[in-house]
Amino acid sequence: MDIFYSTDNWVLHMRIGLVVGNLDDGYYNRIAESLSQEFTSLNASLVIFECADFDYDTPSHYVLNMLCSIAACNFLDGIIIAPSTFLYHNIEDLIREVFEKTSKPVVSIGIPIEGIPSIILDYKSAFDEVISHFISHNIKNFAYISGPLSQPVFRLRYEAFLDSVRNAGLEISSDLLLEGTTGYMSGYNCAKGLAPLIKNGTIKGVVCASDHIALSAIRCFSENNINVPSDVEVSGFDNTGNAYFSAPYLTTINRNLKQIFKKAISVLFEQIFGNNSKLTYYLAPELTAGITSGCKNKTALDNNLCIPWSRFHGLRATSQATKTSGIIPRLTEYLTENNISRSYIVKYCNPIKFEDTEYEFETQKGILFYGFSKGKTVEFTKPFSTMGIIPSHLFNEIKEPMHVKPIFTDGIKFGFLFISISWNTAPLINDLYNELYQYFSGSYFNQEYMRLKKEIAETRESLMLSNKRLNELTVKDNLYKLSNLRHLASNMLQKRRGITGEYYLIIVDIDNYYEINERFGFSEGEYVISCVSNILTRSIRDDDYFSHQSFERYILLVKNIQNDPTQIFDKRFMHALNELNRTIDKPYHISFSWGYASAKMESNIDDAYVQAEKKLFEVKQKKSTISPV
């Protein structure tokens, strides 16, 4: 609560927050129309918080949502919350959990919240009027199309409708109680199933839980050659659909949002000044009769109406901004052209990630990415706590209604748009948001790409360095083994009891070791090494030399050789391999190649090693295919 000086006395100026989930254009305009004058007369200002960043699928992360930050902020004197605008099915419990931690006065509109004063539309009374209206037209056989019953507002309306039906002494088959989806197509598919029943006269009236549902149902009926109201009468709920027409088209329930908001403000102020103890207030609705129930002149609008499924309002000033010199240079022109009083774009110093459940809002800092006030740009270079929305000296200048809209993508929040509101500015705000979302998300993901690219490069460089060191160690290890090989060969031949000093050096390589290891895992690679080692040790004598030099390579020294043994070894190796592959029942085939060189005790063993390795290479070259893996 701020204190301002006037010529008469010190005046208290209060700030009230209106908290909504997803704010559509119709609701936005009703707020702008209903609340602006009301708050001005009370010397209070309104800040609308749109919690569109709500993580519906994982509500445990709601602490990172704007909903929680609103409860913790210190510049609001009271809060009005509209639970029916949230999509999360358990929103009542979540709101109670969040706001029981705050000392601020809170009022709920549309849905009753335990422990919180609630302004409720009397849904039972509303459907009593709708059903009475149909009965006055001699219609008693009708269907009901609801929105998703997981949403509290549609669940309440569904239960109220059934109560009204029972009180009227009517019965409706469960087959005629239909549940639609969200969005403009909400009633279309349900209406498609009703079309045959309407054509054969079983159904004469369709009651819909919202105007969007009713309009999409009417479009379906029109495409199936069903005339409204001649073949079937249709009613909606909320009185948002008639905004498309110059005269009342839909028969619907007018929620009278102006009356609801006025009562909510009154109850909130009673709480602020400690004069309220009542928790629930019910307001009577009003029936608006339209063409869809035959109560107006049908010539005012034909049945071939085109209902807008979606709307797009292209930006005139910023559409090319991100392609050239950035978005900031064009914003001032755009906001001035569209008569926006103030706009502040706040960018978090570090984007908020929803998975960070230990995050505390008090620590979050932001920068003023862009500021605009009364036709001039505003700069503020220092980081500030976003718990105060914008720096206090800027915030204290604001008296007009403002709107806070989070800028986010799946799992990441970049900042928010803080902008003044007036009648019919919702499309402008939505388009500006889309431009900012693309700008921030594109910049963020480009930075992430460059960061990951740098990390990959650094990792690759580190791996290359590690490989170089490993290769150096392997070479040293092999040289050490070769030195030992020379020593062993010399000792072996010196201790021989044969007539000659001749021996054979054999190098064996497993052909498909790396393919097996990569495809089937390290344990299978170890198994192959074990199998080949067994074959080789069984193929030589106990006093010959056997060494496993590396992963796929072995060295054999066979002494006291007088005749060429290569054919004998070839038969031994092939027989052993064939027997192995026949019995192991593995999804791969084990094979190895070998090369050899004959030498004498006085020979240079290094030359023998090179000659054996050369023959090994020639054998591998001759193999047309590697044994199948």
Which own/partner contact pairs does 328-336 have at CB distance under 8 Å and 24+ positions apart?
Answer: 328/369, 328/370, 331/370, 331/372, 332/372, 332/377, 334/432, 335/372, 336/375
User: Distances from the Cα of 218 to the Cαs of 192, 203, 222, 236, 505, in angstroms?
Assistant: 10, 14, 6, 11, 91
| pLDDT tens track for 113-132 | 888 888 888 999 999 999 99
Cβ atoms within 10 Å, residue 378 = 17
What number of residues does the chain have?
629
pLDDT attached to residue 562:
66
Edge-first strand listing for the sheet containing 142-146: 177-179, 142-146, 205-208, 233-235
Percent of the chain surpassing pLDDT 70: 76
pLDDT attached to residue 323:
43
Give backbone dihedrals phi and psi of 173, rounded to 5 degrees, phi first: -60, 145
pLDDT attached to residue 342:
92
Does 54 score more than 70 pLDDT?
Answer: no
| pLDDT tens track for 65-102 | 667 777 667 788 888 888 888 776 677 777 887 777 77
| Mean per-residue pLDDT, 596-622 | 84
Question: Is residue 283 a contact partner of residue 122, using CB atoms and an 8 Å limit?
Answer: yes
Question: Is residue 595 a contact partner of residue 618, using CB atoms and an 8 Å limit?
Answer: yes
Q: Which two tokens stand for residue 44?
A: 């209070």
Residue ranges of the domains in the chain? Answer: 2-116+312-449, 121-300, 496-622
Does 559 score more than 80 pLDDT?
Answer: no
Does 465 score more than 90 pLDDT?
Answer: no
Q: Which residues contact 15 (CB under 8 A, 6 or more apart)?
A: 1, 2, 44, 45, 46, 47, 75, 76, 77
| pLDDT tens track for 7-51 | 343 345 688 888 888 776 667 767 766 666 666 667 778 888 888
Q: In this predicted model, which residue has the larger pLDDT, 624 or 222?
A: 222
Classify domain 496-622 by CATH architecture. 2-Layer Sandwich (3.30)
Of these ranges, 5-19, 218-232, 330-344, 440-454, the one predicted with the greatest mean pLDDT is 218-232
Q: 121-300 belongs to which CATH class?
A: alpha beta
pTM of the entire predicted model: 0.63
- Region of poorest pLDDT, from 327-336, 351-360, 521-530, 572-581: 351-360
Q: Which two tokens stand for residue 6?
A: 């006037």
Q: Which residues contact 298 (CB under 8 A, 6 or more apart)?
A: 229, 291
Secondary structure of residue 222 in the 3-state scheme: helix
Cα-Cα-Cα-Cα torsion 355, 356, 359, 364, nearest 10 degrees, comes to -90
**Start-end of H helices in 350-425:** 392-395
Q: In this predicted model, which residue has the larger pLDDT, 25 or 260?
A: 260
Give backbone dihedrals phi and psi of 576, rounded to 5 degrees, phi first: -65, -40
Q: Which residue's entry shows tokens 């009468």?
A: 233
| Mean per-residue pLDDT, 241-255 | 80
Distance CA 472, CA 474 (A): 5
Does 242 score more than 90 pLDDT?
Answer: no
pLDDT attached to residue 195:
94
Cβ atoms within 10 Å, residue 604 = 10
Distance CA 87, CA 183 (A): 12
Q: In this predicted model, which residue has the larger pLDDT, 475 or 420?
A: 420
| pLDDT tens track for 303-355 | 555 444 433 334 443 333 344 456 777 888 888 888 889 999 999 998 877 66
Does 379 score more than 70 pLDDT?
Answer: yes
Of these ranges, 69-78, 231-240, 258-267, the one predicted with the greatest mean pLDDT is 231-240
| Mean per-residue pLDDT, 582-596 | 91
Does 519 score more than 60 pLDDT?
Answer: yes
| pLDDT tens track for 139-165 | 999 999 999 888 888 889 999 999 999
pLDDT attached to residue 10:
35
Does 410 score more than 70 pLDDT?
Answer: yes
Find the helix or strand (DSSP H, E) in which 589 lies. Answer: none
